[in-house]
Structure 1
Amino acid sequence: MIAGLMALALGAAGPADADTKAWWQTTATLSNDAMNGRDTGSADYERAARIVADRFAAAGLEPAGEDGSWFQRVPMEQLAVTGATILAGTTPLAFLYDIMLAPAPGMAERLVAPIAYRGYCRPADLGNVRGKVVICHGTHRTGLPSEAERQAAVKAAGAAAIVMIADPGFAVEPPRWPFAYARTVWLAGSAPAAEPMLRFTLNADALGKLIGGGGHDPAALIAAGAAGQPLPSFDAAQPLRVSVALERKAISAPNVLALLPGRDKTKHNQAIILSAHLDGYGPGEPVNGDGLYNGTLDDAAYVALLIRTAERAHEKGYKRPVIFAAFTGEEKGLLGARWFVGHPTLPKAYIAADINLDQLRPIFPLDLLTVHGLDDTTLGADARAVAGGMGVAVQRDPEPERNLLRRADNWPFMQAGIPATGFVFGYRPGSESERIYRQWYRTGYHRPQDDLAQPMDWKAAADFNRFFYALVERVADQDAAPAWVAGSGLKPTP
């Protein structure tokens, strides 16, 4: 079966050149159905970590984990919803399809409370909502409350729960239903504060189930909220009834760490980290009959690119040492990268930069590349130079409202004052590339459909891989180590 999948992935429509073919073959090894999605804390993830370590060893790298091993064990705790019954009056809401609950320590497992719709949930909108379930439109529009501001206002008002309507008007990253599952994971020793207020996300199509009758048109409310128009405040005639079962347990999973020593001993304290995340979602709620979230482009393909980079580079090497890092727990909150930055297996002062691979979708031509932190560190100038030599333009993030910079494993490094960057395939507004990109975020992102059968632009994949090889060589071999640019708004203040 596995051989058949790999043959399908590498068939006549697959990559033409040997390097891209080798990269995709490794991608298939890590994300075929037998790998079961590599969920953090699972036996499947452990198998994937061992495969990556074995490939690093075969490429001639040295172990860079704990106690001379390839691994750094990351201790975590998980709180999961294992069952949920949610009723608006007597009308059931389908868990993970109509409504999602974010589990938190200290939350109530039973609730019966009146429902209050409060528009955008400004403090002035709320009135007396103590002990109530408050519905808020989850807008991302400038000038209206942010998610954090809505939650803070509703909590301060003494509500029993907040229900955020996932805004269908947020076109740059539209809501996706169903959710795969309901879990919260954190690093051991850093449990979030107990949160008695329940926090729900609501499918906009299910608003009518919550508010019932009463003369308010749910479709009109959703349309007005999506457009940022004024919204009313009112109380629903029916209560919300919630009963959930929770399971809390300790889990762990390893980061996989490997070293390619530098040729120039004067630069031994300027290590370049090359990172990607090995974890995926694993088995979850089925979409179109498929319940396995393979995580092929997110992010098995780019762990595979780390392996391919090591295989190409180990004989010649680079002037600076290079650490190859396949991090765990990215999908649960950048946990592996956060643990490594907090517990580095080499002195933190010896880490000169991180170049992270995530958010890459080679599904349309590569002629424009978004570079995170483009103007904040010298890595931006390096990326600009390499891309320019390939005829690829670069740009700053055109959609800062999505907060992509802080949603990938480069971010913990930047928070620690270490120059870092990451990349997103760019597109020009109104282009076919934009159409493909938007479609993937509707149907592929964190979906079972992110698998080996999805359409690929093989030239774009090869072009990015060539960009990455050249960028790593430039950064690891040039005289000056990566540095922050004066005036960066991202560089932490001492």
Structure 2
Amino acid sequence: MRHLLVLLAVLAAPACFMAAPALAKPDADTRAWLARTAELSSDAMEGRDAGSPGHARAITLVERWFKAARLQPAGEAGTFRQTVPLHEVAVTAADMRVVAPDGSAAPLKFLHDITPRPATDLPAALAGAMRFAGYCSKAEAGSELKGKIAVCYGSRRAGRAAAAERLTAVAAAGAIAMLTVDDAGFTVEPQRWPDAYARAVAHDGAALPTGLPQFRVNGAALARLIAGSGRLAAAILTDAGLHRDLESFELPGRFEAALTTAQRRFNTEQLIGLLPGTDKSKAGEALLLGAHIDGYGFGEPVNGDALYNGTLDDAGYVALLGQLAARRGGKGFARPVLFAVWTAEEKGLLGARWWLMHPTVPREQLVGVINLDQLRPLFPLKALTLHGLGQNTLADTAKAVAQSLKIEIRPDREPERNLIRRVDSWPFMEAGIPAVNFVFAYDPGTQEERIYRDWYNRRYHRPQDDVTTPMDLDAARDFNRFFYTLVETAANGAAKPELKAAAR
């Protein structure tokens, strides 16, 4: 009810809802999109965690949209639905502490100070002496870690040991576990706490994590790990933030953990609808439009709120698929268009990957993918980062459409964030299918960047990503218009999308 009341207030008086000057009165299409977004991310949908009752309600809602829009079922057994079987391991409880030589203990709060990596062989109890090994490169790991718990600074920048290198080095050195301290200096995407929960999910029958016990550590907890060593946590964090070398040293405290894990197998569902094409010569050239319906569901409370609604991640863009389908009302483009509502994106792009392994339409008919994720209409739409730029002709089409609407298209200027691999277009790119995804772009030091960073820090994968988010509805309208035009241009174009030679 709270979110419904917010939506009504937005539609009645949008000027007080938006962070930037926007429409005095949103147009009918934008109002309809916003209403779908609010309904799909309302508290009644409980954050749409894959396999949850709220997720099932959301699937039923979007299925109704597809039926009302006269799409045809393109899922399994003549339905819109496809079942995705999953296997999960979760850390359901954890008691962790640093015990000093005098026996006093400093607790580490689960999900706030430290989060264990869920694994099927995670021990119920773990204890050992600790050694700080800098960035945990092979040279830093040395031979002093044997039988100890390695404490590593988890740098995310070039020139230092990356995650895979750290793990290899620490395991080869004989460590019994690894605690990785967040890279506070990686300011383009700082780590945030608390974690919503500690779960790992895979397709049923695929391998879940195993191996060396690993823990993610909040930088604010480093002082407790190194207490009594004579070193200052603030100095280590500053030196690491400045990319300086870090000295390795023994820690006087002992790390202890009691861990409870649970496994479950469950099914979740996703939707595939078809808008048939009108040109028989292009009947085998399907364009796929995708967005993910799943969110985080219920998790660790932030500011007293435990429900992660996922309004802009990604309810708003499942809503946009529904809005496009409604606009067409069963009227096709030249090419057939598939409307895909993926599940389990937040658990590792599992729904999209499952469809590629178990396609409900022959894979060879798929000629291009337009994915909708990472879109945040928080400030005026002047530029878009385009994932896929330079790789395929679908990206060229998107660039031409954007330029016709006076939207600049840019390559990814923050590749170290690895955003291209974190959305459902990536499995299709890996499979050699032309695909694109978009991010609202901003210039460094501008108000737009400040708005985006603030949203990322306070709302992304947080309960605060709900319909109270101050959106720029002009920007939403402009992106939606771009999307409609891109789909029409690509679906009606004389030539089907192709990979470029450099991407083959």
TM-score bracket relative to the smaller structure: over 0.9
Aligned residue for 2:13? 12
Q: Mapping of 1:22-421 within 5 angstroms? A: 22-89=32-99, 90-127=105-142, 128-192=144-208, 194-195=210-211, 197-421=212-436
Aligned residue for 2:21? none
Q: CA deviation at 1:286?
A: 1.0
Does the 8 Å contact 2:200/2:208 carry over to 1? no
Moved more, 337-346 or 4-13: 4-13
Question: In 2, distance between residues paired with 1:9 and 1:451?
Answer: 13
Q: TM-score, normalised by structure 1?
A: 0.97
Q: CA deviation at 1:439?
A: 1.0
Instruction: Return 5+ residue gaps in structure 1 as ranges.
Output: none
Q: CA deviation at 1:132?
A: 1.5
Does the 8 Å contact 2:118/2:209 carry over to 1? no
Question: In 1, distance between residues paired with 2:186 and 2:459?
Answer: 17
Does the 8 Å contact 1:341/1:348 carry over to 2? yes
Q: Mapping of 1:423-442 within 5 angstroms? A: 423-442=438-457
Amino acid at match of 1:34: A
Q: Secondary structure at the match of 1:331?
A: coil
Does the 8 Å contact 1:9/1:28 carry over to 2? no
Does the 8 Å contact 1:83/1:244 carry over to 2? yes
Deviations 1:398-435 (CA, angstroms, capped at 9, x unpaired): 01101000000001111111111100000011111011
Q: Cα RMSD between the aligned structures? A: 1.1
Does the 8 Å contact 2:55/2:294 carry over to 1? yes
Does the 8 Å contact 2:335/2:492 carry over to 1? yes
Q: Tell me, yes or no, if structure 1 residue 480 matches structure 2 residue 482.
A: no
Q: TM-score, normalised by structure 2?
A: 0.95
Amino acid at match of 2:12: G
Deviations 1:295-334 (CA, angstroms, capped at 9, x unpaired): 0000000000000011112343211111100000000000
Does the 8 Å contact 1:356/1:421 carry over to 2? yes
Question: In 1, distance between residues paired with 2:28 and 2:149?
Answer: 58
Amino acid at match of 1:178: P
Q: Secondary structure at the match of 1:387?
A: helix
Deviations 1:163-206 (CA, angstroms, capped at 9, x unpaired): 111111111101110000110000111113632x1111111010
Q: Secondary structure at the match of 1:75?
A: strand
Determine what percentage of the aligned residue pairs are the same residue: 49
Does the 8 Å contact 1:39/1:282 carry over to 2? yes
Deviations 1:42-91 (CA, angstroms, capped at 9, x unpaired): 01101100111111000000111100011000000011111100011111
Moved more, 153-162 or 41-50: 153-162
Amino acid at match of 1:46: A
Question: In 1, distance between residues paired with 2:250 and 2:66?
Answer: 60
Question: In 2, distance between residues paired with 1:337 and 1:378?
Answer: 22
Question: In 1, distance between residues paired with 2:367 and 2:293?
Answer: 23
Amino acid at match of 2:77: D
Q: Secondary structure at the match of 2:12?
A: coil
Q: Secondary structure at the match of 1:323?
A: strand
Amino acid at match of 2:373: D
Q: CA deviation at 1:101?
A: 1.1
